[in-house]
Amino acid sequence: MEQQRKFLQTESLPDNSAHLSRKEIGLFRNSPKQNICVQLLQDGDHRSFSELFHLLACDRRRREADPAVGLQTPPLEEQLDKLETMKLHLSRAERAERTGLWSSAYEQLLLLGRFFSSPEDVWLSLYFYRRCSDGERGFRPAVEAQVCLAEFHLEEGEVEQARQQAELSLQQVEDGWLDSDGRSLKLRTLRVLWRIYSRLADAPLAAGDHREALKLLHEGYRIATQTEDKQIEGEAAFKLGLTYQSAGEHDAAKQLFSSCMQIYGSLQDSDGLTKVYKAMARSLQSEGNINETVRCLEKLVDISRSDGLQHNLAESFLRLGDVYYSRCEYQRAAENFLQACEVYCNVGDEAQRQKAQGKVGMARAHCLIRKHIVHLQTAATTSEHQNLNCESADRT
């Protein structure tokens, strides 16, 4: 643009004062793609020229195959900032390779992978991440590129490819390496790998294959304990506990839920504590340990009330009411159902309020029936005593 500005300024000067070289004239007349390709060749960066030319051809094929792509963004060859960025880093990478500075070369490719972060440029980002990770192993930028690929595959649901990239990264990463954002590269890899194993367990869980799911989740939990992230460790333990619970192994589930309570308690994570207490109550109730179930639900009520979790509070009252109802303690059941009804009324949840109100009616009906039965039994007993007394008086 600066050359174009100078050229336009010279148009007002006499012909003999405007002395432009062929190169300067080319900058004005040629397209951005032509100028950049010519400069790469003039600088001796022939491999960079070939690679850029290849990517431009890929972009044309993409547009021909899918017309919708052409409606979203202009052709790559018309986007000067992207062409200039690729020219800069590709030429730097090529020169670093020629001098044996492999780590510097891969750093340039990693920068290109990170630069193309917008959705329409994902294909370019993946290209440069793959170029970077396919190089000589043992270099920090190549390992980071593998982690980036693992994260991408995981987001796309390509879990097996994600695992391959993450495990390859973990084999090569060294303690003390930081990623481009200054975070521990090893811990980042471990966090991705935990997410991968957690996702891998979803398929056997859905199929009811608890054995395979537990195997994968145990590996995920082992990895989670190495991430130095208590939130991740708590999530891994909770999912493993839920799987044991689904398999009917409540002792193992309760041990993991107890660990979760300690972790979420130290993090002051109310949402985490809420879901763990709910799960613990289910295991206790399944074992018939009603007293412990009640204590667990009462603790859940306290947490929900103190943190203002209104829907959790109402649900806790409903579950307490259900427990008392199952024990035929209808008065206490009605009290808890009524409190749930009041909470739902306060938050404006009409559907749940009606549900809770129905439970109140059922519990109170049982209370009235019980009172009526007791009254009848008392009346019958009184009448029997009176008859006995009359018979005794007659005999006398």
Q: pLDDT tens digits for 21-30?
A: 555 544 455 6
SS3 per-residue string spanning the chain: CHHHHHHHHHCCCCHHHCCCCHHHHHHHHCCHHHHHHHHHHHCCCHHHHHHHHHHHHHHHHHHHHCHHHHHHCCCHHHCHHHHHHHHHHHHHHHHHHHCCCHHHHHHHHHHHHHHCCCHHHHHHHHHHHHHHHCCCCCCHHHHHHHHHHHHHHHHCCCHHHHHHHHHHHHHHCCCCCECCCCCEHHHHHHHHHHHHHHHHCHHHHHCCCHHHHHHHHHHHHHHHCCCCCHHHHHHHHHHHHHHHHHCCCHHHHHHHHHHHHHHHHHHCCHHHHHHHHHHHHHHHHHCCCHHHHHHHHHHHHHHHHHCCCHHHHHHHHHHHHHHHHHCCCHHHHHHHHHHHHHHHHHHCCHHHHHHHHHHHHHHHHHHHHHHHHHHHHHHHHHHHHHHHHHHHHHHC
In the structure, what pLDDT confidence band is assigned to residue 13 with cuts at 50, 70 and 90? very low
Position 15 scores a pLDDT of: 47
* pLDDT(119) > 70: yes
What gap in Å lies between CA 313 and CA 300, rounded to an integer?
8
Q: Which pLDDT belongs to residue 190?
A: 97
At residue 60, the pLDDT reads 92
Strand partners, 184: 178
Question: Band of the pLDDT at 10, cuts 50, 70, 90?
Answer: very low
> Torsion-angle region of residue 289: left (phi > 0), alpha (psi -120 to 50) or beta?
beta
pLDDT of residue 392: 55
Least confident of 26-30, 179-183, 333-337: 26-30
Q: How confident is the model at residue 381 (pLDDT cuts 50, 70, 90)?
A: low
Tell me the β-bridge partners of 178: 184
CATH number of the 288-364 domain: 1.25.40.10
Ramachandran category for residue 44: left, alpha or beta (phi over 0 → left; psi -120 to 50 → alpha): left
What is the mean predicted confidence (pLDDT) over 108-124? 94
Question: pLDDT tens for residues 293-313?
Answer: 999 999 988 988 888 888 888
Q: Is 146 exposed, middle or buried (0-12, 13-18, 19+ CB in 10 A)?
A: buried
pLDDT at 6: 44
Average pLDDT, the chain: 85
For 240-253, what is each residue's pLDDT tens digit? 999 999 999 999 99
Does residue 394 have a pLDDT over 80? no
Neighbours of 85 (CB within 10 A): 15
CATH code for the structural domain at 101-200: 1.25.40
pLDDT greater than 60 at residue 388: no
What integer pLDDT is reported at residue 387 of this predicted model? 54
Provide CATH 1.25.40.10 ranges for the chain.
288-364
pLDDT of residue 24: 52
**Measured distance CA(93)–CA(131) in Å, rounded:** 11
- What pLDDT score was predicted for residue 337? 87
User: Are 260 and 234 a contacting pair, CB within 8 Å?
Assistant: yes
| Whether the Cβ atoms of residue 52 and residue 90 lie closer than 8 Å to each other | yes
Which of these ranges, 13-22, 253-262, 335-344, 384-393, has the smallest mean pLDDT?
13-22
Asked whether the predicted pLDDT for residue 222 surpasses 90, the reply is: yes
Question: Is pLDDT above 60 for 233?
Answer: yes
Q: Confidence class of residue 80 from pLDDT cuts 50, 70 and 90?
A: very high
CB 197, CB 181: distance < 8 Å: no
Mean pLDDT of 32-53: 89
